[in-house]
Chain A
Amino acid sequence: AQSVTQLDSQVPVFEEAPVELRCNYSSSVSVYLFWYVQYPNQGLQLLLKYLSGSTLVKGINGFEAEFNKSQTSFHLRKPSVHISDTAEYFCAVSVGSGSARQLTFGSGTQLTVLP
């Protein structure tokens, strides 16, 4: 079975500083990795995804993530954060086999951008 570990439950960072949100996964088969963002009282919005190909993926709002198979990681980065990036971020994995592609989520990282 696959699982996702988000190493930091809360990450405070000052505006315009860089940020990295860490995600590690475990799976014995090929995985497909996602980062979702959840603003307060809202649904989940897809930031970016890794399915195959280039290990560096770029998403919306200036975010990017790098898939590292040897370290089983998929860390999310942004070179300069804004106040509006304050939200909960979830890393998720979908395993490619058989049925519909349900997602397994990590426990989330609350990113708080400080002025």
Chain B
Amino acid sequence: AAGVIQSPRHLIKEKRETATLKCYPISRHDTVYWYQQGPGQDPQFLISFYEKMQSDKGSIPDRFSAQQFSDYHSELNMSSLELGDSALYFCASSLGRQTYEQYFGPGTRLTVT
């Protein structure tokens, strides 16, 4: 079965630009999580969605927004990009929000110049 798909895999943007990251969960998975991993750091939880509704919010900046669509894919929208936003952004999916096992995608590496 196909795993979690993230696109694009690499993205280069300039300061103050916007970026959109996409996540396609495993088939039938209804819960999506976004994590940010800065250089040499551990992944930090940003936000999660269950059944197209926001479930929990972590350390997500106000400049970022996200949503989950009817086909369960999710998009992370990032505006007014800053140098500090350069990171690896992971999406994970699970079946049901009470499930503990999350499957991670390969990540999108965002570089802000």
Contacts and interface: CB of A to CB of B under 8 A. Distances in A.
A35 B100 CA distance: 12
B104 A45 contact: yes
Contacts of B101: 46, 49
Interface string B81-92: 000000000101
B106 A103 contact: no
Interface residues of B, number: 29
Nearest to A6: B42
Interface residues of A, number: 23
Contacts, number: 65
Given A102-B45, A108-B42, A51 B106 contact: no
Given A43-B104, A49-B101, A99-B97, A107 B42 contact: yes
Interface in B61-101: 90, 92, 94, 97-101
A69 interface: no
A44 B42 CA distance: 11
B55 A103 contact: no
A42 interface: yes
Given A44-B90, A90-B42, A105-B42, A100 B31 contact: yes
Interface in A38-76: 42-46, 49, 51
Contacts of B99: 101
B110 to A, nearest CB: 14
A102 B33 CA distance: 7
A45 B92 CA distance: 11
A102 B49 CA distance: 10
Interface of B: 4, 31, 33, 35, 41-45, 48-50, 55-56, 58, 90, 92, 94, 97-107
Given A44-B92, A102-B33, A105-B42, 12 more contacts: A42-B107, A43-B90, A43-B104, A43-B105, A44-B104, A46-B102, A99-B97, A100-B56, A100-B94, A102-B58, A103-B45, A105-B44
